[in-house]
Amino acid sequence: MKNTANAALSLSAIAMAMQAHASASDCATSPRLLAPTVGTVFTYDLGNGSTATQTIIASGNGVTVHMERYKSSDGEWSSSPGNFSTIQGFLQVATIAPGPKGWAKTKVFNDDASVKLSGLLVNESVLLEETETLKDNNGNKKQSAKGSTKVTFLGCVNAHTNGIPDRLLNYKVISQSMIPERRQGRWGVRKIHETVQVSENLGWVVSVDDGEGSYNLVESK
């Protein structure tokens, strides 16, 4: 994974730091975070010369809505249709793709997930029960599935984001997600295992690694 002066620490560096300084995890519990302000733009390194931006367009009740753009290694920009609703940038709440062939995926948690993420002790987990619904924009295809997302707080480490001292909150996340392609008349569901870092200053994700790929924050403004 690529590191820059403003990027998040690599996951391997964080693991080493946590092993070496476990007693000084820089926070005894996971703090409650403020959502980023509307208009903030986060730029991420996707690897192989590709980048992505996330622009915050709305925020309220612990849920933040953003739009995404991508730049390929050849310099071409493209926009992802629709918008994405998340908690702290990594816990998915809704994904909406407009148009006649578009679809909407929403996830309703039984509890306030933004509240449940705060106050966790190091290595403590919270299980978020949920109902996920996927339908196309014509309204004639719909499927719901009950499931859960398990979030384990791994502690904090000191870092710098945008050149400013910060603490990164580290989580292990096991979630499920419906796949918007039909399989024998039904939508598929896949399990996702991720290691996530969230900036306390920014209130937003700075790094995600799912074992197959990763992305890391370059800057925010």
Q: Which residues pair with 41 in a beta bridge?
A: 55
* Cα–Cα dist 35/89, whole Å: 9
Quote the number of domains for the chain.
1
Q: Tell me if 4 is assigned to some domain.
A: no
Domain for residue 6, yes or no?
no
26 located within any domain: yes
Q: Tens of pLDDT along the chain (221 residues)?
A: 333 333 344 444 444 444 433 344 689 999 999 999 999 999 999 999 999 999 999 999 899 999 999 999 998 999 887 899 999 999 999 998 887 777 788 999 999 999 999 999 999 999 999 998 888 777 666 788 889 999 999 999 999 998 999 999 999 999 988 765 555 556 677 889 999 999 999 999 999 999 888 999 999 99
**Distance, C-alpha 80 to centroid of its chain:** 16
CATH assignment at residue 174: 2.40.360
Distance of CA 73 to the CA centre of its chain: 23
Name the 3-class secondary structure at 118: coil
Structure tokens at 211: 């074992």
Instruction: Quote the pLDDT of residue 52.
Output: 95
pLDDT given at position 20: 38
Contact 218, 44 (CB under 8 A): yes
- Asked, for residue 1, whether it belongs to a domain, the answer is no
The answer as to whether 55 is a domain residue is yes
Distance CA 136, CA 128 (A): 26
Q: State how far the alpha carbon of 199 is from the alpha carbons of 97, 166, 217, in Å.
A: 28, 7, 10
Q: Which residues contact 14 (CB under 8 A, 6 or more apart)?
A: 157, 168, 170, 197
176 part of a folded domain:
yes
Residue 125 lies in a domain: yes
Identify the domain containing residue 83 by its residue range. Answer: 11-218
In a domain, 136, yes or no: yes
